[in-house]
Structure 1
Amino acid sequence: MELIIGIFYLALLVFLAPTSRTKDEQSPWFHVMIIGLPVLMIFLGTNVLLAAVAPSQLNYNITRVEAMAYAIFAVIFAGIAWYVIHKRSLRGWLSRFLFRGGSYDPDRPIHTVAVVVALFMIVYTGASYILLGGLDGIAEALAESQPGLVDIGSVALRFVVAAFIGVGIFLYRDINTTLDRLGLSQPTLKQIMVGLGVGFVAFGLMVIASIVWTMLSSPESISSVNDTSTQLIAAYGDTLLMAFLFAFLSGFSEELLFRGAVQPVFGLVPTSVLFALMHVQYWFTPAILIIFLVGMLFGWLRRRYSTTAAITAHVLYNFLPFILINVLNTTV
């Protein structure tokens, strides 16, 4: 139900936005819909506060300090979203400085929608992180629920549908122009080879950074991330086929949304930051810097070649840990 509501909400925003080029021409429904997002951010902050202070059968493992910190975080982001909606000067600043590497237009309502939705997703992801109890809670949730392909498929579907709706399929783009806008094309041999090469480089970067982090950090700080990664591998690594399906679904959907739909508007660096922040299991750890750098590599592929090349790299990057573990288990 949450998936359907989210897709429907985004579709309405995109449908209403293109018809409102100036403030005088804006549909009142569009204004109500987009204002609803910062309101929902405040609602999320309030819910987390209530979860910390009010008795609940769900037994959320969060302190009042953590809940208050998140509530302040949610209010700040809601305020930023509010000003993005109402202040053309702020949108102009975003265009000149933050999104200068993309095609962001401060006068296009659909681009305002993109910024506000991105802010909302950061707040929403933060709520998941806090309510689950941080890294330890995420690892426990994965161990208890044992997610399967249906779960990752639903997340992938959300990203794919958001990407297609976000670029205006069947609204002001047909199939061919939509695929072109998303950077999807029939891959050439060169694109495949470069994508595979970048996938290996990204994986190598992750391994090197993990080794350095292990040498410099305490065992306790590493344990939580390792537990989460272990549970992910346990959930999807029963067979190499399931592991590949997980790698493909997550890699394809994430690249389609972030590199295909978002990056041409926001630019390389802001998109890579957003991509890293969506990986909630790495918040407050050095691992999020690794995800940012990996996102930069995938973004370079999108800019230099195509989203298809970035998908190739991302799928390989996701699949390599499963291959490595399978080989080690076979040889031991």
Structure 2
Amino acid sequence: MDTQRFHPYLVLLALVAGAVALVFGLSGDPQSDLGLFFSTGAEAAPIFLIATLAFLALDRPRLRPVVSLLTVLFVLGLALVGWFFSVAPWYGVMGAGEMPVEAAVVLLAGLFLSLGASALCFILYSVRVRRFLAQWIPIDPENFVHTTAFVVVAAIALLPLVPLLVLGHPPLVDLIGDPSMDFGALTPTEAAKTDLYGLVWTLGGAFLAVGLFVKRSLPEVLDRLGLVRPTIRSFSFAVAVGLGLVLVFGVVDHLIVAVWEYFGWYVTDEAYTEALFSAYLTPVAAVVAAIVAGVGEEVAVRGVLQPRFGILLSALVFAALHAYQYAWDGLLSVFLAGLVFAVLRARTSTTVSAVTHATYDLVLFSLMIAGVGWI
């Protein structure tokens, strides 16, 4: 272990913070700002906890079974969440006597697909499979950290798609319309606060996920993530590209919708989208949401994942992260946007892709606030 990079007390602090976040996340509704802060970190905590422990396990082989067990539990947890969202339309009738046939079919289909996707993830523990895939994905198939990361990334790419496959529409359509589920009830102030807390956890988690305090120093982490100090020229370029993408995807989205409508496929409803983002339709909340999405998603996806798993897989993960929100037409648009951000990251830096992403989102939110809607 490199003593110049390994900081045991900071590693311990990160592990404790992650554990506390999980406890708060599982305990229910937070009762204070501190509780909200830690519960917000429950989404990122499993990933950076597994990553940190995986780095530690490189020099401590006895730790590897523990990391593998936690990884399996993480995958199964995502599978359970996917199954939960798959049966979203039927929550109101499941406890009211006999279950309808349609609900039973959805229940079984969600279970089958969730377990099937989990099995595909676990196949990546086979070194032969990893060696085969390493022909196209820049991983070291013998590296324990890469193996663990591959399983986690595959789970994030596959399991959120299960509800869409089962329902044919985003599960939040049903949950937002169910008053008992309390979805979309945040005020703009609460939404902005939650987003800012989430950004802190996302950035901290991203730094830990690439080995901060264990294998890399802070300058090495910044280099690995592609984070550089922006110049006036690079910032202006990023903003200009973001504005251009609004116009380009205004056309692309209309073409996608036209194709979907031609085949009679489900199209993400604009009224639902506005309801989904209603808490962000104030200037302050919109600015915060755009910055958080631009910086957080780019650092996590283009910074952490893309250098290790390539453009295509990182773009698939980026799209899957939106699978609970959008139908297939929306995911295709997100995937294409992700490819653009990925090319920007590859040719410039994560900083540029983050500013571009934030600009793009801010314009879209501004259009919604102005009553123009998604163009």
How many angstroms does 1:260 deviate by?
Answer: 0.7
Q: TM-score, normalised by structure 1?
A: 0.81
- Matched AA of 2:299: L
How many angstroms does 1:307 deviate by?
Answer: 0.5
Partner deviation per Cα, 1:190-231 (whole Å, 9 max, x = no partner): 321221222123212221123224444449967743123212
- Check the 8 A contact 1:17/1:110 in 2, yes or no: yes
What does 1:16-55 correspond to in 2, within 5 Å? 16-21=53-58, 27-41=64-78, 43-44=80-81, 55=94
Q: Per the alignment, in what secondary structure is the counterpart of residue 171 of structure 1?
A: coil
Q: How many angstroms apart in 2 are the aligned matches of 1:214 and 1:18?
A: 44
- Check the 8 A contact 1:37/1:116 in 2, yes or no: no
- Which residue of structure 2 lines up, in the alignment, with residue 118 of structure 1? 153
Name stretches of at least 5 consecutive residues in structure 2 with no aligned partner.
1-23, 26-38
- Which residue of structure 2 lines up, in the alignment, with residue 152 of structure 1? 195
- Check the 8 A contact 1:228/1:281 in 2, yes or no: no
Aligned partner (choices 90, 108, 130) of residue 143 of structure 2? 108
Q: TM-score, normalised by structure 2?
A: 0.73
- Which residue of structure 2 lines up, in the alignment, with residue 236 of structure 1? 280
More helix by share: 1
- Which residue of structure 2 lines up, in the alignment, with residue 136 of structure 1? 173
From the superposition, tell whether residues 279 and 11 of structure 1 become closer, same or farther in structure 2 (CA, over 3 Å): closer
Partner deviation per Cα, 1:238-257 (whole Å, 9 max, x = no partner): 2x222111111111100010
Partner deviation per Cα, 1:147-192 (whole Å, 9 max, x = no partner): 5213333443443233112111111112211111111111122321
Q: How many angstroms apart in 2 are the aligned matches of 1:43 and 1:214?
A: 31
- Which residue of structure 1 lines up, in the alignment, with residue 127 of structure 2? 88
- Check the 8 A contact 1:10/1:165 in 2, yes or no: no
Q: How many angstroms apart in 2 are the aligned matches of 1:328 and 1:15?
A: 45
- Which residue of structure 1 lines up, in the alignment, with residue 108 of structure 2? 68
Aligned partner (choices 290, 297, 304) of residue 254 of structure 1? 297
- Which residue of structure 1 lines up, in the alignment, with residue 253 of structure 2? 210
Name stretches of at least 5 consecutive residues in structure 1 with no aligned partner.
none
Q: Per the alignment, in what secondary structure is the counterpart of residue 141 of structure 2?
A: coil
How many angstroms does 1:140 deviate by?
Answer: 3.2
Partner deviation per Cα, 1:251-284 (whole Å, 9 max, x = no partner): 1100010011110001111111110111124554
More displaced 10-residue stretch of structure 1: 121-130 or 229-238? 121-130
How many angstroms does 1:236 deviate by?
Answer: 0.8
From the superposition, tell whether residues 45 and 282 of structure 1 become closer, same or farther in structure 2 (CA, over 3 Å): closer
Partner deviation per Cα, 1:71-126 (whole Å, 9 max, x = no partner): 222112211222212x10111122113x2xxx321111111222222233346635
- Check the 8 A contact 1:156/1:254 in 2, yes or no: no
Number of equivalenced pairs: 321
Partner deviation per Cα, 1:57-80 (whole Å, 9 max, x = no partner): 9xx998333332222221122112
- Which residue of structure 2 lines up, in the alignment, with residue 301 of structure 1? 344
- Check the 8 A contact 2:243/2:359 in 1, yes or no: yes
How many angstroms does 1:127 deviate by?
Answer: 6.9
From the superposition, tell whether residues 311 and 64 of structure 1 become closer, same or farther in structure 2 (CA, over 3 Å): same
Q: How many angstroms apart in 2 are the aligned matches of 1:150 and 1:13?
A: 27
Q: How many angstroms apart in 1 are the aligned matches of 2:297 and 2:117?
A: 23
- Check the 8 A contact 2:302/2:342 in 1, yes or no: yes
Q: How many angstroms apart in 2 are the aligned matches of 1:319 and 1:48?
A: 29
- Check the 8 A contact 1:149/1:246 in 2, yes or no: yes
2:323 corresponds to 1:323: no
Q: How many angstroms apart in 1 are the aligned matches of 2:315 and 2:162?
A: 21
- Matched AA of 2:347: R
Q: How many angstroms apart in 2 are the aligned matches of 1:30 and 1:143?
A: 33
- Which residue of structure 1 lines up, in the alignment, with residue 312 of structure 2? 269
Identity %: 21
- Matched AA of 2:171: G
Q: How many angstroms apart in 2 are the aligned matches of 1:297 and 1:270?
A: 14
Q: How many angstroms apart in 1 are the aligned matches of 2:82 and 2:266?
A: 28
2:220 corresponds to 1:181: no
- Which residue of structure 1 lines up, in the alignment, with residue 206 of structure 2? 163
Q: How many angstroms apart in 1 are the aligned matches of 2:194 and 2:296?
A: 13
